[in-house]
Structure 1
């Protein structure tokens, strides 16, 4: 399992370098739109890297090699789903490094705000995106699913970004006004955690669907 995840990183050395440049660009360019920019940046780059591994594997016919090895298909599929969060963690760490660099060096430009609420919403966005994209890739391959997945990224990432600030403000309002007794007993992070529960259920269902497709797929 570890080696499969490590492989997804090693085959994307060029993409990883590009992702750092993208995150640096997003951190400066989207600083004016606050948490929306942070959510968009993490979603876009994490999605790019998660699917990038599948793109390179299909280009190099790695799928045929993997299925010919004594590796359980369950591990192959599971490694892709774990990689989603590994790439997301990588994106978050890079952005946090950029934020720290700006604060320590007192650079003459603003960068993205780094908030827990926005991070959780970004993880939720990546979870939802990959829950739809990965089963399609395991069923028909990256190239055939590429157009749909690109449209999905455009619609959902921009939609998530557009609603993100309103959602964060709603959470603050609900907490401060205590409009609902149940939610008033929870912290903002706990309320955001509740958002992840249905998404994780979808993610798990997506994994089993991908596994079913992968087992039936002919190479």
Structure 2
């Protein structure tokens, strides 16, 4: 399974070389942007590129001819995404620090939560959508996440005072722990859904 995880890193050499300039761009020109969103973009960079590449070259046909079970193929994607998310956020933290782009641990925590939630909904789509649509759907999904979520949360804060009062009554630790549990559960559920879909997919 390790070789399946390493595959995404090996086949994306060119894209990975663009990762550092990609983060540097935000560090230099997007100082008004939330650090949490920069970390979120960094965390999804390698996993999403891996899925898009697999779709373009139809690598699932090759993978299913190798001595790996379909359960292992899906597991490698989800475990690999976690590994690359941690690596990407670590590199992004160093770059932002070197460019004096201010951020806090809270921003990293929020980005990790967003990664889990976004991946939980996006990853199963890669096993459902027809080839040729994945890249467009991912791009639209990232844009929608960036554009819609902040106004949505502001709307909830302004209009649903019962919910906001309840949330503000909770301690910071409770909020973070609750968010972590919910996002991880969504990710694990997504893993099971993807496995169910992939087991029945015909190549």
Bin for the TM-score computed over the shorter chain: 0.7 to 0.9
Structure 1 residue aligned with 2:93: 96
Which of 51, 58, 61 is matched with 2:55 structurally?
58
Q: CA RMSD in A?
A: 2.6
> Residues 95 and 47 (structure 1 numbering): CA distance in 2 closer, same or farther, change over 3 Å?
closer
Structure 2 residue aligned with 1:150: 139
TM-score by length of 1: 0.78
Structure 2 residue aligned with 1:46: 43
Q: Conserved in 2, the CA contact under 8 Å of 1:124 and 1:196?
A: yes
> Residues 57 and 148 (structure 1 numbering): CA distance in 2 closer, same or farther, change over 3 Å?
closer
Q: Conserved in 2, the CA contact under 8 Å of 1:121 and 1:164?
A: no
- Tell me whether 51-60 or 209-218 shows the greater mean CA deviation: 51-60
Determine helix, strand or coil for the equivalent of 1:68: coil
**TM-superposed deviation, 1:141:** 4.8
Determine helix, strand or coil for the equivalent of 2:133: helix
Determine helix, strand or coil for the equivalent of 1:32: coil
Q: Give yes or no for the alignment of 1:217 onto 2:201.
A: yes
**TM-superposed deviation, 1:45:** 3.0
Counterparts of 1:46-195 in structure 2, within 5 Å, are: 46-102=43-99, 110-111=100-101, 113-141=102-130, 143-160=132-149, 180=169, 183-184=170-171, 188-189=172-173, 191-195=175-179
CA offset digits 1:26-68 (Å, max 9, x no partner) = 12222234xx1x2222222332321111222222232111111
Structure 1 residue aligned with 2:27: 27
Unaligned ranges ≥5, structure 2: 155-167
Unaligned ranges ≥5, structure 1: 103-109, 166-178
> Residues 78 and 199 (structure 1 numbering): CA distance in 2 closer, same or farther, change over 3 Å?
same
Determine helix, strand or coil for the equivalent of 2:64: helix
- Tell me, in whole angstroms, the C-alpha distance in 2 between the residues paired with 1:193 and 1:216: 35
Q: Conserved in 1, the CA contact under 8 Å of 2:47 and 2:80?
A: yes
Q: Conserved in 2, the CA contact under 8 Å of 1:49 and 1:87?
A: yes
